[in-house]
Amino acid sequence: MAMAGEKGRGRYLVLAVPYLWLVALFLAPFLIVFKISLSQDAIAQPPYTPLLDLSDGWAGFTDYLSQLSFDNYAYVLDFSNEFIQAYGSSLIIASISTVLLLLVGYPIAYGMARAPRSMQPTLLMLVILPFWTSFLIRVYAWIGILSPEGLLNQGLMALGIINEPLELLNTDIAVYIGIVYSYLPFMVLPLYSALEKLDLTLLEAAADLGCPPTKAFWTITFPLSLPGVAAGALLCFIPAVGEFVIPDLLGGSNTLMIGKSLWTEFTVNRSWTVSSAVAVLLLLVLVVPIVIYQNVQQRELEAGK
């Protein structure tokens, strides 16, 4: 019995670590942000009101609660304030980027999974290698590549493919390039792990039953890699929606993304409260795909393999 008790305690300890982590670094900050989003802007330190003052006891607390409101949400959801458009545009850009990532990442992952066993660790390393350089520096490097007198335009002009420099930098195209480039490992790795697990005798069985290789890809390989596709797509889509650095550095003035709107609201307009409301709503928008992702994972676990 004593053994069982100790075992139970050990299990709680192990479980406590991730939960404490989430409470301290996710739930608590989120509640603070949520609280701020219900407050009003004020010229003060901190720049919002009301502040919770517990010296008045319970009365102070109820007084505090009565001053909270959802006004900031109404403001954000007001169509004329362009936040809705920014949310929509972010979702569209993230969706298109995810599709592009899938189109680029799938062949890479497939090639890696089919490469000789001995080469696969090296290939994996190469996929992860860009992480060794700062994300910011890599995005800055794209400015040098995409600018009118950048490497890409110079190269294309030297080859005689174009006469005039292409307008790439500060366009949505640059944003897509930036997102696809930066997020590619997050797409490739789950796809690779799904494809690498695929039992190749299944393809032999398909061929044996009269199914040519291309068709076998679509009837066997692709459906069996769907968990990887889902994982990769969500791993890319979710952070891409809130992406700020890439649209800020590579996008144009009319590239509308919610991360940029939030940043503007926070730093230029100095509105902690509205930017908090934007953040909370962004989280709500993303909860849907996160829940889908967890469902997919759950199903994969239950499938037993």
Partner 1 sequence: MAAEKPRNQTIGAVRRTFQPWADPDKKPLIRFENVVKRFGDFTAVDNVSLDIYEREFFALLGPSGCGKTTLMRMLAGFEEPTEGRLTLAGEDISGIPPYRRPVNMMFQSYALFPHMNVLDNIAFGLKQDKMPKADIAARVEEMLKLTKLEKFAKRKPHQLSGGQRQRVALARSLAKRPKVLLLDEPLGALDKKLREETQFELMDLQMDLGMTFLIVTHDQEEAMTVADRIAVMNHGVLMQVAPPAVIYEQPATRYVADFIGEVNLVEGKVISASGDETRLSSPITPHPLRVSQSLGLKPGEEACIAIRPEKLRISLDEPADTSENCFRGEIWDIGYLGDLSIYHVELECGQRIKVSQPNLSRVVQRPITWDDKVWVTFAPHAGVMLTR
d(CA 229, CA 235): 10
* Contact (CB, 8 A) for 87 and 282: yes
**Is the CB of 131 or the CB of 218 nearer to partner 1?**
218
For the chain, strand residue ranges (E) read: 40-41, 48-49
Q: Is 149 in the site for partner 1 (CB under 8 A)?
A: no
State the nearest-atom distance from the C-beta of 197 to partner 1, in Å. 11
Size of the site for partner 1 (CB under 8 A): 19
d(CA 286, CA 53): 33
- Distances in Å between the Cα of 261 and the Cα atoms of 57, 62, 72, 100, 227 are 38, 33, 15, 24, 33
Q: Is 177 in the site for partner 1 (CB under 8 A)?
A: no
State the nearest-atom distance from the C-beta of 201 to partner 1, in Å. 4
| Whether the bond into 121 is cis, omega within 30 of 0 | no
Residues 224 to 283 in contact with partner 1, rule: CB under 8 A: 224
Angle at 248 between CA 243 and CA 250, to 5 degrees: 100
**Is the CB of 157 or the CB of 224 nearer to partner 1?**
224
Residues 195 to 234 in contact with partner 1, rule: CB under 8 A: 199, 201-202, 204-212, 215, 220, 223-224
State the nearest-atom distance from the C-beta of 102 to partner 1, in Å. 19
What is the total residue count of the chain? 305
State the nearest-atom distance from the C-beta of 296 to partner 1, in Å. 14
State the nearest-atom distance from the C-beta of 223 to partner 1, in Å. 5
**Is the CB of 215 or the CB of 270 nearer to partner 1?**
215
**Is the CB of 18 or the CB of 210 nearer to partner 1?**
210
Structure tokens at 234: 């969500």
Q: Is 18 in the site for partner 1 (CB under 8 A)?
A: no
Angle at 44 between CA 41 and CA 50, to 5 degrees: 55
Q: Is 43 in the site for partner 1 (CB under 8 A)?
A: no
Residues contributing to the site for partner 1 (CB under 8 A): 199, 201-202, 204-212, 215, 220, 223-224, 303-305
